[in-house]
Structure 1
């Protein structure tokens, strides 16, 4: 155990360069690359872009549980790019090898078994690929608090960087547009917006469905006079 003291010291306060040097050059390069992708993503000019022209990446994560502070980890990433109100056709999916075991209830829910992740990429490698895919796009997720928290924790754990992207929540937008419905689940809102319900609790399939929900909402928002990303932020900040 004492032989690992330098490693844990690096995690506590050594920063990415020192941590990277201990992990080897390829990892150091990956850390630097991922950190570069988390910066400068909140440019003010983005607020003036019409939603039907806004470049977004709709994403979803599957995790071993709901409590990252108790050791739960990401086991798969999914994302689809949307250009304005049209799917770009570009998609991302990857399993991710967690340090913890996958509980039976999560295996049943997601179909992801311990055997499936044994040869999966590491968290750092998957983050590098995922962040490279989403690039500087505005991120969108349904019930985004869970996904955003796990993503931010994963970034800090591997690179000592925080998520710098803007993140929109389709659940919050839907509830703001139609507060009388009292709905929250993705399944319910997909039915409301008549988006085909595909395979649930699969990161890529959930991303595809959520992208359909987002695209449907853009027209609803336009009808309410909400045209730009800035308009949307103002709309979401208003009390009922």
Structure 2
């Protein structure tokens, strides 16, 4: 299966124009002042395009998040702040690029709340939600469409260390490519589009 052709059919752009991003944060709610701690962007082959720790402007500690992502206050002491990353990140998350993520809305909320980007990208692909469309029984936590990256990666035979933005972005890139080559997914999307016509 030509996954670049599938990507073009589904999104209007090819794999060469895809960027995959992931974040680590102080918590789950940017609207309640949670902040970025790390941001990574890779291409569709998982090659690093951008990777940086981020120094929060308001938080001095984040013990619960630190237990998950391992990022301590000392690690981000001399890292750039979110506003210092705006130019470089917005060049990747711009018109013409397909922006891919896992639970992408979560990452984009942080980029928007921290004003790293000024508006949501026009072309997006959420691997979590697309995977859950065709593998609903593997989606857990009682929330329709919610599934862990670890579970999707395991399904496609992708090994990685979770809760590291660069590792998660690379795993998401692998899951993205695997999903585009997943015949059950492609058939389901084509059938849905046929019903919508």
Specify if TM > 0.5.
Answer: yes
Deviation at 1:233, TM superposition (A): 9.2
How many Å separate the matches in 2 of 1:95 and 1:233? 40
Matched, 1:70 2:38: no
Of structures 1 and 2, the larger Rg is shown by: 1
Question: Residue 148 and residue 206 in structure 1: after superposition, are their counterparts in 2 closer, same or farther (change >3 A)?
Answer: same
Deviation at 1:145, TM superposition (A): 2.1
Determine helix, strand or coil for the equivalent of 2:171.
helix
Gaps of 5+ in 1: 1-47
- Alignment-derived partner of residue 174 in structure 1: 131
Determine helix, strand or coil for the equivalent of 1:224.
helix
CA RMSD of superposed structures (Å):
2.9
Residue deviations 1:104-127 (CA, integer Å, cap 9, x gap) = 122222121111212111211222
- Alignment-derived partner of residue 194 in structure 1: 157
How many Å separate the matches in 1 of 2:20 and 2:191? 17
Matched, 1:218 2:180: yes
- Alignment-derived partner of residue 57 in structure 1: 19
- Alignment-derived partner of residue 54 in structure 2: 96
Q: So what's the TM-score if we normalise by structure 1?
A: 0.65
Deviation at 1:178, TM superposition (A): 1.7
Question: Residue 224 and residue 203 in structure 1: after superposition, are their counterparts in 2 closer, same or farther (change >3 A)?
Answer: same
Determine helix, strand or coil for the equivalent of 1:112.
coil
How many Å separate the matches in 1 of 2:170 and 2:30? 25
Q: So what's the TM-score if we normalise by structure 2?
A: 0.78
Q: How many residues align?
A: 179
Determine helix, strand or coil for the equivalent of 1:215.
helix
Q: Which of 74, 77, 83 is the equivalent residue of 1:115?
A: 74
How many Å separate the matches in 1 of 2:46 and 2:167? 15
Gaps of 5+ in 2: 1-6, 141-146
Matched, 1:148 2:126: no
How many Å separate the matches in 2 of 1:182 and 1:224? 19
Deviation at 1:225, TM superposition (A): 7.2
Question: Residue 53 and residue 105 in structure 1: after superposition, are their counterparts in 2 closer, same or farther (change >3 A)?
Answer: same
Shifted more, 166-175 versus 122-131: the winner is 122-131
8 Å contact kept, 2:46–2:169 = no
How many Å separate the matches in 2 of 1:204 and 1:232? 34
Question: Residue 110 and residue 180 in structure 1: after superposition, are their counterparts in 2 closer, same or farther (change >3 A)?
Answer: closer
How many Å separate the matches in 1 of 2:81 and 2:172? 26
How many Å separate the matches in 1 of 2:73 and 2:90? 25
